[in-house]
Amino acid sequence: MTVTKTEAPVTTASNQPHGEGEPAGSARSERLSALIQQHGALAVLVIVSLVASFSFDSFATGDNVSNMATSSAFLAIVALGMTFVIITGGIDLSVGSLFALGGVLAAWGSRYGTLVALLLPLAVCGLIGVVNGLLVARSRLAPFIVTLAAMLGARGLLLAVTDEGAETFLIGKGSLLAELGQGTTLGLGNPVWITLALFVAGAVVLRRTRFGQHVYAVGGNEDAAALMGAPVARTKILVYTLSGLLAGLAGALNAAWLASGVTILGNGMELEAISAVVIGGTLLTGGLGYVSGSLVGVLLLKVIQNVINQIGSLDSSYQQVVSGAFLAVVVIAQTWLGRRRQLM
């Protein structure tokens, strides 16, 4: 995945993160392109939500919105980590397995208290993230293969812990952990607030810190970034670690929500996360991306699923068709916008 390094706006590979700030050129159409790239998904989300609100009485209800928010929260946390990885030009296929493993470890650890239940999945999934990062950055292996191996390995670990998936660990009702997953604050589930806090933190890190600048620089042009003194290897190790940590945390929170370490979760979740990130305007080739876009991407996927259930009689296979079509439209638009910008 790192081979084809495209540079979004070319001139400023390293010294200016192409985050949510002003685009470099002043030409109006360039600004329009950037606007579509960054906010296109948001516009679609708003339109789809509005149409759904007018079409279905039960769409814009407190219950429905709160349900959608809670069930999106876990994928959103995974997508946050994925955003960092993809901006560096990498990919992390291990997150679905880490999500499931994190949930099982949290449920298993819950017998020793909430602290263990949260720290154990973070430690294990974070460690797998570190290994991913080391193999990608130091051994210069392709992220696709490294994280594919981690995906299989983590799933195997999960099966080993759960007696081939036959044993499901439960989280005691009324425990602090269950409260963390199932409780609500101001009408929204606790996982939603945790997710929002993580996204704010993620946006600040990406846009306002040196590490964030390095993430963009590495994805924009790795060689240039290295020449300018950015710690390429360290940055890569950090993003894969972050991705592992967030996948483990999302799994732990999800287990707390379900009150059990369900063993069959997370299949295909890595692809959902990648779809959400790409729909949110982050370039799969790296160098350009937005944390907020990924959140919008997750919500868009969730709203599509909800609308198809709202219709009620429609075969849910169509959800995948619609999600796939959205993704195709977004990548085609991105390619087109990118080419236009190049020609200018």
Partner 1 sequence: MQRTTHRPRLLARPGLVALAAAVALTASACAKSEDDASKDTKSPAAAGAEQKVVTPKPGSKSCTVDAYGGEKLDLKGATVGFSQSEKEANPFRIAETQSIKDEAKKRGVKLLTANAQSQFSKQISDVQDLLAKGADLLVIAPLNSDGWDPVLQAAAAKKVPIVTIDRKINATACKDYVSFIASDFVEQGRRAADQMIEATGGKGEVAILLGAAGNNVTTERTKGFKERVAEKAPDLKVVFEQTGDFAREKGQQVTEQLIQSKPGIKGIYAENDEMGLGAVAALKGAGKKAGDIKIVTVDGTRNAVQGIVDGWISGVIESNPRFGPLAFQTLDTFTKGEAVPQDIIIQDGAYSTDNAKSEIGKAY
Q: Considering only the stretches 27-35, 211-219, 233-241, 250-258, report the one whose residues sit in contact with partner 1 under the rule CB under 8 A.
A: 250-258
130 versus 331: smaller Cβ distance to partner 1: 331
CB-CB neighbours of 37 under 10 Å: 25
Distances from the Cα of 199 to the Cα of 69, 76, 77, 159, 250, angstroms: 14, 9, 8, 31, 13
Of 181 and 212, nearer to partner 1 (C-beta) is: 181
Q: Work out which of 12, 16, 67, 175 binds partner 1, going by CB under 8 A.
A: 67
**Cα torsion 150, 210, 296, 67: sign:** positive
16 vs 168, beta carbon nearer partner 1? 168
CA distance 149 to 143: 10
Q: Which of 230, 278, 288, 298 binds partner 1 (CB under 8 A)?
A: 278
| 7 is an interface residue for partner 1 by CB under 8 A | yes
Query: According to the binding rule CB under 8 A, does residue 185 interact with partner 1?
Result: no
Does residue 164 interact with partner 1 by CB under 8 A? yes
Report how many residues bind partner 1 under the rule CB under 8 A.
66
Task: Pick the binder of partner 1 from 143, 292, 323, 337 (CB under 8 A).
Answer: 323
Residue among 63 and 186 whose Cβ is closer to partner 1: 63
**CA 100 – CA 221 distance, rounded (Å):** 34
Q: Please say which residue, 43 or 332, places its beta carbon nearer to partner 1.
A: 332
Among 247, 265, 295, 337, binds partner 1 (CB under 8 A): 265
114 binds partner 1, rule: CB under 8 A: no
Piece of 5-13, 46-54, 128-136, 240-248 that binds partner 1 (CB under 8 A): 5-13
Q: Give the count of alpha carbons within 13 A of 110, CB side only.
A: 28
Among 94, 254, 282, 294, binds partner 1 (CB under 8 A): 254
Token match 């199932």: residue? 182
Tell me the three-class secondary structure of 59-94, residue by residue. Answer: CCCHHHHHHHHHHHHHHHHHHHHHHHHHHCCCCCCC
Residue 23: strand, helix, or coil: coil
